[in-house]
Structure 1
Amino acid sequence: MLKKSVTFVKGIGEEKAKDLHNLGIYSIQDLLEYFPFRYEDYRPKDITEIKHEERVTIQGTIQSESVLRFYGKKKSKISTRVLVGNVLLTAVFFNQHYLKTKLVIGSKVTLTGKWDQHRLSITVNECKFGIGEQNSSYEPVYSVGGKITVKGLKKMINSAMEQYGNQIKEILPPYYLQKYKLIERKDALYKLHYPLNFEDAKKARRRMVYEEFLLFQLKMQAIRKFHRENSGGASINYDKENVTLFLERLPFSLTSAQQRVVDEILKDMATPYRMNRLLQGDVGSGKTVVAAICLYAAVTARFQGALMVPTEILAEQHYHSLKALLEPVGITSELLTGSIKGKKRKELLTRLESGELNIIIGTHALIQDEVQFHKLGLVITDEQHRFGVEQRRTLRNKGLNPDVLFMTATPIPRTLAISIFGDMDVSTIDEMPAGRKPIETYWAKHQMLERVLSFVEKELMKGRQAYVICPLIEESDKLDVQNAIDVHAQLQHYFRDYKVGLMHGRLHSSEKEEVMQQFSNNEVQILVSTTVVEVGVNVPNATIMVIYDAERFGLSQLHQLRGRVGRGDAQSYCVLLADPKSDVGKERMKIMTETNNGFELSQRDLELRGPGDFFGSKQSGLPEFKIADMIHDYRALEVARNDATHLVSSEEFWENSEYKYLVMYLEEQGVLNGEKMD
């Protein structure tokens, strides 16, 4: 019944229903679950308890004639004196001239607004005549738009609650209600809309947050279970002895974090199910060597491996790194990009199809129709968020359900990782290799530019190289920020004895490759660039990075950029040129100078910006929750995930009637009839 159209609620016709659709409200259930985003506290306070600029409700008696003044076009201001307890204060009403005749001496009023401690005045935005008219000390505030007002929405929710409130069914099993001391669903919905106090609203919210997370995680874990059981992947029975020998031959020891993730991945590869795992690690944490070990293991089981990366520069770097590790043990690997053409390309593809070639590293060139594998067993995608779902799927389909490993150098807090990638297993390298020097980071104002450039020159004189990052390509009327073309011209003039290169997103890929190659070969000493160098460029001789207008970047992006230096033995530096106007901007600069830990930074970034901005709205893939908040409710998210994992894997969940509403939910979501996520 609650799934029926909202038009079944008394007082809601077709027109109102259309307006409600704009708020995402289609069914009776949607209306009942359209929760307030905050509550107004109407409990009258004593003047002595109120803080400056606090939003408050006070009760008192009008003591003076009100004074009305008009100014500008249709703007007005009323001032009157109100006695609250034994304190005489001023009440100010903007653009509410119609109240002039009602504000008479001796009348009792309940006023809500912003308190000014210095002037002993309140700027009123709500005025009620009489004392104690409020039904509740807590009033819900809803997000509305169009023709829907808060008052109108409350009326519609009241009607829905009166008509259908008794049809709200409990969907959580009694065990979980008792275990977490949660109130019943019907009670929670009622208290969210009509709380008597803060505690009421808190208990109700706690209950609905857990429910929302549990349903989301149940869906994720069920998809994962059925996807896994139906994937029919190949068991990669790798040669453990040879893998151990390969690890012993490495010119360095693995960190304990690297060893842990290698064990997790190899264990997954050996199962008959298709691996679907995310490997995340900070810049420089050693993901490439983990990839090499896993690719080697696949080859010992007579499978082929593929590594797909977003750019030719990155593909080339990975190719040289992997070749150095794998060639000595007899593993053949080749590079395939759009630049490789003609006879060389044809020969390479023939070797790949025949199985003579063990490992292929490349860009999206790997997903062309002409690329055929003999026996593809492991697909690794680096910086996977830069490829579309279809591109990833095309490569995966070139093998018989090969194991899939996604790698990212964008550290994502565990809370978010288990939410967004809930249908994946997540491996995390949270430790840096020994001996890597932390990058020293400084925040400088723009007026200190001369000193910063002098510091850059000292590094150049030692034979080092520098990056200079700008937010824009060309001058913009809209944004007063340094742009790459102007900065390039200025630096060419300043550093006359050095070669200054320019790179930005509008250059053709071959032009970008050429500039980057010149920088790699030290033919260019200073590279002025936009954020196109953010991912995967490895120039060990570059020891200094200057970021103009650093306050325009998020913490995670600043950290990614900073990770382009510090790749050699010499001490490296990052200078943030910024004059942030906002507290958030200042906080960002401060955090960057305090820590080099990407996971800590991403958590702080999330707290400062929220999950949508953290990922960028287009590619976030973040679930939309009605009441839960992934950042502030992360403990509930962890608990819900553990509960969902346990439920989905138990036979009782699928058979016991206690869980029927949860199973019905999964059926409605299409999870039980083959719904899949990439």
Structure 2
Amino acid sequence: MLRQPISEIKGVGAKFQEQLNELGLFTIEDLLFYFPFRYDTYETKELTELAHDEKATIEGQVASEPVLSFFGRKKSRLTFTLQVGQFAVKAVMFNRAFAKKQLNPGDTVTLTGKWDQHRLQITVSQFKKGEAKSQEPIQPVYTLKEGVTLQRLRKVIKSAIDEYVEEVPELLPEEMQLSYKLPERPKAVQQMHYPECRVLLKHAKRRFIYEEFLIFQLKMQLLRKHHRESTTGNAQGYNNEKLTDFVQSLPFELTGAQKRSLADILKDMKQPHRMNRLLQGDVGSGKTAVAAIALYASITAGKQGSLMVPTEILAEQHYQSLSGMFEGIANVALLTGSIKGKRRQEILHSVENGEVDILIGTHALIQDEVLFQDLGFVIVDEQHRFGVKQRRALRDKGLHPDVLFMTATPIPRTLAITAFGDMDVSVIDEMPAGRKPVETYWVKGEMTNRVLSFIQKEIDAGHQAYVICPLIEESDKLDIQNAVDLYHQLASVFEPKVPVGLMHGRLHNDEKDEVMQQFAKNETKILVSTTVVEVGVNVPNATVMVIYDAERFGLSQLHQLRGRVGRGSDQAYCILLADPKGDVGKERMRIMTETTDGFELSEQDLKLRGPGDFFGKKQSGMPEFKVGDMVHDYRALETARKDAAEIILEEKLEQDRKYRVLKEEVYKDKSLLGDVLD
């Protein structure tokens, strides 16, 4: 019944059906589970309880004759004073000229709108003569598209609920509902759309938060189980003696955190199933050293290894450092898009016949023409969450290598373990000895000239500087213009004595590489860039990072940018140029100047911004939840993870009749389970 098209509902004609389809609503089930993104409550509060900029409902007496003024074409503004207790509040209504005749001094009115704490002003979105109590207490508000009004959508959803809500299947076994005191599913759907009171709405939300998380975690646990079972006979018997000698030959002592992470990885390599591990470590924490040791372990087991990175310049830098580390004991090769012709064919041939032990490159490594003799270990650097398609590309070559993902984005461990439920997580949470923390300062815009003098001073001392300007989207012309304008401003100040470079997202990859190479070789002294410079390039000579409009970035991104400097032995500086208006922006600047610990910053960032922004819209690994919030509802997420692990371990999903409906729901959406369902 619930799979029927929405045209079955009274009042949905062909045109309206088309408009609803654009909202992603095709079936009656889609409508029932199209939950409101917020609820308007018309409960009045005391003015002293209201927060600045919140949506509020207040009640009082009209204390002045409303004044109507016109501006623009057919635009009007109506203002009057509302007496609320001992306070006189200014009320502003736009484009409601008709209300002048309805509102008279002495009338009791209820106003809903945006509250301005500083001016004691309300910008009215809804008004009603009389007291608030006659209003419905809680009203659902849905995401809309052109042609679909809120009233009409509410009406259609109400019809769907009245007629079909009892058909909604129960997913959770009875004992689970009882132990967590969750309402039944049909009742919860009803309360999500038309809550009788706040308490029942809270319980309905709690139910769907847990249900969403449980389904997601079950998929993750199934993927994990599948990865393990599909790659038996994958154990790598590495040579412990050679490995110990190699570690002792390194010119530095491993930190405790590096040793722990390495132990995790080596333990995985001995297992008969394929490794699927995430190695997190702050910028400069020594992930590459751990990766190199793991690669060597695989070589001593008679296998080949590969390291995949996002950019050519990064691939070249890794090639230089690993060639030095492995000189005389392993053959390292580099393969990127710009290596062509005869040289390329030679490398491909050497990889295929096993002469190359370690191949470093961009995602070109998983293309059809690259054939390994015996690939045992793959490292994927910088958040290329190796998707199902890439895994399939390796599998189609008959390969089941151990895979290690590395990221310098410090995701809070708790969130990482839960979000990347199909992976094991290791964390390097201490810095190598001798690294000087980057000194971070927050300065206001009027101090720009002093900042430029400081850059000149560092350049005179033989160093280089990054100057970053914000870029929200790579297609945003305005922001690219910002970078170009800033480049011209700085060039007019510093050139010709000090060469200035420019980098932004509209440049082609080879142009970006050329700009970056010039900076890496110290040919340009100042690099003006948008955030495309974030990913792991190593320029030890750069000691200054200036970030314009720093309040437009999140903490994690600021921290990533700060990590571009301080890679040599000299003291490095990060200068945040910012004039934040709100408290969150000011708090962000304060936190940045007080801590250089990426994990602490990421915890703070989560509190300030939430996980959607935290991972970024393009982060493929992050699920989108309708009701749940991975940070706010973290406890429910953790509970769901434990429950899902137990259900899969005890094979309840496959064997217990009580889990039949839940199993159908888990397997319904193939987006996460492509590997398992194939």
Task: Sort the Cα spacing of 1:546 and 1:180 in 2 relative to 1 into closer, same or farther, 3 A.
Answer: same
2:284 is aligned to: 284
Q: CA RMSD in A?
A: 3.8
Give the distance between the partners of 2:641 and 2:145, measured in 1 at CA. Answer: 34
1:467-616 → structure 2 map (5 Å cutoff): 467-471=466-470, 481=482, 483=484, 485-493=487-495, 496=497, 498-503=498-503, 513=513, 516-581=516-581, 583-616=583-616
Task: Sort the Cα spacing of 1:385 and 1:53 in 2 relative to 1 into closer, same or farther, 3 A.
Answer: closer
Contact 1:278 1:427 in 2 (8 A): yes
Matched, 1:3 2:3: yes
| Structure 2: 5+ residue stretches without partners | none
Give the CA deviation at 1:191: 2.2
Contact 2:67 2:80 in 1 (8 A): no
3-state SS of the aligned residue for 2:252? coil
Contact 2:487 2:500 in 1 (8 A): no
Give the distance between the partners of 1:119 and 1:306, measured in 2 at CA. Answer: 62
Q: Deviations over 1:215-254 (max 9, x none)?
A: 1111222133224322456222223343334333333332
Give the CA deviation at 1:548: 3.5
Task: Sort the Cα spacing of 1:178 and 1:433 in 2 relative to 1 into closer, same or farther, 3 A.
Answer: farther
Give the CA deviation at 1:83: 8.1
Amino acid at match of 2:482: V
1:305 is aligned to: 305
Contact 1:415 1:631 in 2 (8 A): no
Amino acid at match of 1:361: I
Task: Sort the Cα spacing of 1:398 and 1:320 in 2 relative to 1 into closer, same or farther, 3 A.
Answer: farther
Q: Deviations over 1:36-74 (max 9, x none)?
A: 22223323456787678765445677899x657463444
Taking structure 1 as the reference length, what is the TM-score of the superposition?
0.86
Task: Sort the Cα spacing of 1:350 and 1:67 in 2 relative to 1 into closer, same or farther, 3 A.
Answer: closer
Task: Sort the Cα spacing of 1:233 and 1:565 in 2 relative to 1 into closer, same or farther, 3 A.
Answer: farther
1:252-267 → structure 2 map (5 Å cutoff): 252-267=252-267
3-state SS of the aligned residue for 1:327? coil
Contact 1:377 1:399 in 2 (8 A): no
Give the distance between the partners of 1:82 and 1:318, measured in 2 at CA. Answer: 68
Q: Which moved more, 1:525-534 or 1:635-644?
A: 525-534
Task: Sort the Cα spacing of 1:520 and 1:386 in 2 relative to 1 into closer, same or farther, 3 A.
Answer: farther
2:454 is aligned to: 455
Contact 1:503 1:530 in 2 (8 A): yes
Give the distance between the partners of 1:317 and 1:55, measured in 2 at CA. Answer: 52
Give the distance between the partners of 1:469 and 1:120, measured in 2 at CA. Answer: 39
Give the CA deviation at 1:347: 4.1
Task: Sort the Cα spacing of 1:646 and 1:123 in 2 relative to 1 into closer, same or farther, 3 A.
Answer: same
1:315 is aligned to: 315
Q: Deviations over 1:384-438 (max 9, x none)?
A: 4398875675456545222222222222334553465333333222222222111
Contact 2:351 2:373 in 1 (8 A): yes
Give the distance between the partners of 2:37 and 2:88, measured in 1 at CA. Answer: 34
2:208 is aligned to: 208
Give the CA deviation at 1:504: 5.1
Amino acid at match of 2:422: D
Amino acid at match of 1:32: L
Give the distance between the partners of 2:242 and 2:290, measured in 1 at CA. Answer: 15
1:29 is aligned to: 29
Give the distance between the partners of 1:48 and 1:470, measured in 2 at CA. Answer: 40
Q: Which moved more, 1:659-668 or 1:540-549?
A: 540-549
Q: Deviations over 1:77-116 (max 9, x none)?
A: 6677888789998876554444566557997755544567
Amino acid at match of 1:36: P
Give the distance between the partners of 2:368 and 2:218, measured in 1 at CA. Answer: 37
Q: Which moved more, 1:315-324 or 1:577-586?
A: 577-586
Give the CA deviation at 1:291: 0.9
Amino acid at match of 1:306: S
Taking structure 2 as the reference length, what is the TM-score of the superposition?
0.86
Q: Deviations over 1:603-657 (max 9, x none)?
A: 4444444544444434545323221122322222222122212211212332112
1:250 is aligned to: 250
Give the CA deviation at 1:516: 4.3
Amino acid at match of 2:466: Y
Give the CA deviation at 1:292: 0.9
Q: Which moved more, 1:618-627 or 1:506-515?
A: 506-515
Tell me the percent identity: 58
Contact 2:269 2:275 in 1 (8 A): yes
Give the distance between the partners of 1:52 and 1:616, measured in 2 at CA. Answer: 28
Q: Which moved more, 1:345-354 or 1:67-76?
A: 67-76
1:640 is aligned to: 640
Give the distance between the partners of 1:445 and 1:414, measured in 2 at CA. Answer: 34
3-state SS of the aligned residue for 1:481? helix
Q: Deviations over 1:137-176 (max 9, x none)?
A: 2233333333332222222222222212222332112333
Give the distance between the partners of 1:559 and 1:120, measured in 2 at CA. Answer: 38
Task: Sort the Cα spacing of 1:466 and 1:13 in 2 relative to 1 into closer, same or farther, 3 A.
Answer: closer
Give the CA deviation at 1:360: 1.6
1:412-431 → structure 2 map (5 Å cutoff): 412-414=411-413, 417-418=416-417, 421-431=420-430
Q: Which moved more, 1:192-201 or 1:370-379?
A: 192-201
Amino acid at match of 2:319: Y
Give the distance between the partners of 2:529 and 2:50, measured in 1 at CA. Answer: 52
Contact 1:467 1:545 in 2 (8 A): yes
Contact 1:475 1:482 in 2 (8 A): no
Count of residues paired in the alignment: 674
Give the distance between the partners of 2:217 and 2:69, measured in 1 at CA. Answer: 57
Task: Sort the Cα spacing of 1:654 and 1:582 in 2 relative to 1 into closer, same or farther, 3 A.
Answer: same
Contact 1:5 1:26 in 2 (8 A): yes
Give the CA deviation at 1:452: 2.1
Contact 2:62 2:83 in 1 (8 A): yes
3-state SS of the aligned residue for 1:385? coil
Contact 2:385 2:620 in 1 (8 A): no
Q: Deviations over 1:448-481 (max 9, x none)?
A: 2332233233333433333333458999777873
Give the distance between the partners of 1:672 and 1:459, measured in 2 at CA. Answer: 50
Give the distance between the partners of 1:240 and 1:212, measured in 2 at CA. Answer: 45
Task: Sort the Cα spacing of 1:132 and 1:362 in 2 relative to 1 into closer, same or farther, 3 A.
Answer: closer
1:360 is aligned to: 359
Contact 2:68 2:100 in 1 (8 A): no
Give the CA deviation at 1:298: 0.9
Task: Sort the Cα spacing of 1:5 and 1:234 in 2 relative to 1 into closer, same or farther, 3 A.
Answer: same
Amino acid at match of 1:481: N
Q: Which moved more, 1:45-54 or 1:619-628?
A: 45-54
Amino acid at match of 2:159: S
Give the distance between the partners of 2:458 and 2:62, measured in 1 at CA. Answer: 72
Give the CA deviation at 1:515: 5.1
Contact 1:233 1:403 in 2 (8 A): no
2:376 is aligned to: 377
Amino acid at match of 1:252: F
Contact 1:68 1:76 in 2 (8 A): no
Give the distance between the partners of 2:358 and 2:48, measured in 1 at CA. Answer: 74
3-state SS of the aligned residue for 2:20? helix
| Structure 1: 5+ residue stretches without partners | none
Q: Which moved more, 1:281-290 or 1:414-423?
A: 414-423
Give the CA deviation at 1:573: 1.0
Give the distance between the partners of 1:672 and 1:510, measured in 2 at CA. Answer: 34
1:150 is aligned to: 150
Give the CA deviation at 1:30: 1.9
Task: Sort the Cα spacing of 1:457 and 1:25 in 2 relative to 1 into closer, same or farther, 3 A.
Answer: same
2:408 is aligned to: 409
Amino acid at match of 1:492: F
Give the distance between the partners of 2:338 and 2:395, measured in 1 at CA. Answer: 23
3-state SS of the aligned residue for 2:661? helix
Task: Sort the Cα spacing of 1:528 and 1:158 in 2 relative to 1 into closer, same or farther, 3 A.
Answer: closer
